[in-house]
Every structure is written in structure tokens, then in C-alpha cells.
Structure 1
Amino acid sequence: MNSFELNKIFGAVLGVLLFVVGMSVLSDMLFSPEPAGVAGYALPMPEGVETEVAEAAPAEVPLPILLASADVGRGETAVRKCASCHSFNEGGANGVGPNLYDIVGGAKAHLDDFGYSSALAERGAAGELWGYDELYGFLANPRGYLPGTSMAFAGIRSGQERADIIAYLASITENPPPLPEAEADAGAESDAAAAQ
């Protein structure tokens, strides 16, 4: 096959491609799709009726109930995501974050050899402690709980996972404070919810 035959074949293929692209452009110019209108019609609202429907937020389980069902093993597994910044063994080295051994019930900014953010150092100097509620709130949203903290962590959404982590931290605390007790009303509500 000589080069003249190949040129004719390539020319034919190029011509077909050019024809297809040209037809596509021409059809787009001639036929433009119209957006669909609003489906249905608006119903009149009776006067005095709220137009916004409040969504029922799921009832949050109280911390004492979560702690009562917390699992130290699951908490130990969950803190692996924290191990890149923190250590958890007695006398462990500080990383980007402080060593968290013996933290439950301990003072905020509890280590002398770690450079805490000024927000946390001020709370530690004021004598604040890391109780169960404080740890629960901090683990949910560190920057929301303690504005000015240098901890760059988004937080843990699951309340049960936070309770598991707190249970693990309490297990590596020499003298952890007693677990908070559920209020009688909260216990009755959880029993009623379980019965449904």
C-alpha cells in the first residue's frame, strides 16, 4: 500500500470525525433544552401556622449511662488514633501532645515538661481538673470546648466512643475519681426508651 492510499484513509476518518463534531455543534445551536418548571403547585398555608418544621433531635444519652456501658478494650483501640500525638504509658515521652497517663481527675496542664497552649495553661493555673464531663466535652470538640487550644483535632462524634476512651484513660489512672451516677430521671427515661 502506498502513501497515497494511506492519505485517503486518514482523510476519510478525519472527515467523518469533523462531520460528527459539526453536527453536534449545529444541533446544540438549533435545539436548546428548556429547564423543567416547578413540579406541582404551592398550597396556601393557613394563618398562624408555623412554616418551619422542627426536626426532632435524637435524645443524647447522658454521660453516666455511657460510662456505665463503656468498654476499656474498645477505648484502648480507639486511642490508637491519638497515639501519633500522645503517649499513654507511665513516664512516657511527650509528643506533639502531652503524655496522658494518670490524666482522669488530674489537673489541666498537669505536666511541667510540656508547653501547653495559654488557654489550657490558664485553666490549669486556676486549679481546674480533667473530670469525666470535661474530658467528654473536650473529646467531642477540643476547640469548641476550650477556645484557644492548640490541639488540632476535629473531635469524636460518637458519644459511646468518647465514653470508651474515657474508660480507658480512667483505667490507666492511679486513683480515678468515682464514676458519676445517673440521675433518677435520666435512668427512668433510658428504661422507658429501652422498653419501646
Structure 2
Amino acid sequence: MNDQIFETVVTTVAADGTPHIAPFGVRYRDGHVVLMPFKPSATLDNLRTTRHAVLNLTTDTRVFAGAVCARWLGARSWPLLPVQSFAGQRLANALAHSELALLHDNDHAERPTLTLRRVLDLTHAPFPGFNRAQAAVIEGAVLVSRLQMLAPGKIDTEMDYLQIAIDKTAGPEEHEAWGWLREAVARQRVQAGVGA
């Protein structure tokens, strides 16, 4: 049986207070949150330094797309607010967030397993329901995060299929996020010398 993975956004801060925002697939086990970051990782470094993180639940898929496209299109900033339990920050547009403390750090050469306990859970807005375009943007963001690992043909086939959900159900935010993903693919192809 596969572990269920939930797509979230994790915010951490460096020792100097600089915030870091990263899309993260997380697992929930025995009431705890489990992260398995690949090394190297700013999220991992920050968590090991401060021992805290914030789990953000948002339907604004621009956060996911913006983070993975930063390599090709430049960084985007998202409004943040302070959290209550420690010197951390959360997404201002989060529907809900959980303030987390590092409980266990099982190191590994490539991908440590970090178990975090929930310190505080807060809800800020109601969940409006699922949107197929939001799911398509998240899947597209996963593909863009793996552009250097996957064959261009696979990327094209999957992006073309996801385009159907964008065309049928996307709102302005999803269209904007999808545009960033398509642009990132095109720029990566130019940089790699591969025909788009």
C-alpha cells in the first residue's frame, strides 16, 4: 500500500529570520507530520537550525508554480504573517496552517525523514472545494520540478493532457500559474538546447 502524500506549502525561517517557502508533499502519521526533503534543502537546513516549521494549506496554486519556476523565471514573494508559537511565518492566504516542532530527525544520505509534532492548528477560511485546474497546476509543478530528470516527450505529453483541465475549469489564478509553468518549460528547453 502506498503512503498517502498531501501537497502543501511549508514555510521555515533561517537563523537570521529570512523566510523560506517551499511546496512539499507531506505524510500524516499518528497525528504527526512527516517531511522527507531531498538534500540539499533550505527547508531541511532551517528546520535543523530552528527546529520549527509551518504547514500551510492553500488553494492558491500560484504559490506552488511560483516556487518551482523560480529557477527559470526568478523568485516571487508571497505575503507572510507571523505565527503564534515561535518566530515563524505562515502564508497570509493560507486557508489553514499548523505550527510544527521537530520531534525526530532520522538522517539519510539523500532523503532524511523528519517527524514534526503539531503545536497549534488554526483555520482562517473555509475550503471551497476541489478544482480540476488546481490539481492540474500542482501536477504541472511536480513535472517542472523534475525537468532535468524526465524526457522532454514525457513532459510534453503530460502537460498537454493537464491542459484539458486548465481549459475547462481554470480561473484567473490557475491560468496565471499555468502560464508560469509553460514558460519555465520553454526556458529550460532553450537553456538545455532542446527543441520546444
**Higher Cα Rg: structure 1 or 2?**
1
Q: Give the TM-score normalised by structure 1.
A: 0.20
Q: Higher relative contact order at CA 8 Å, sep ≥6: structure 1 or structure 2?
A: 1
Tell me the TM-score normalised to structure 2 length.
0.20
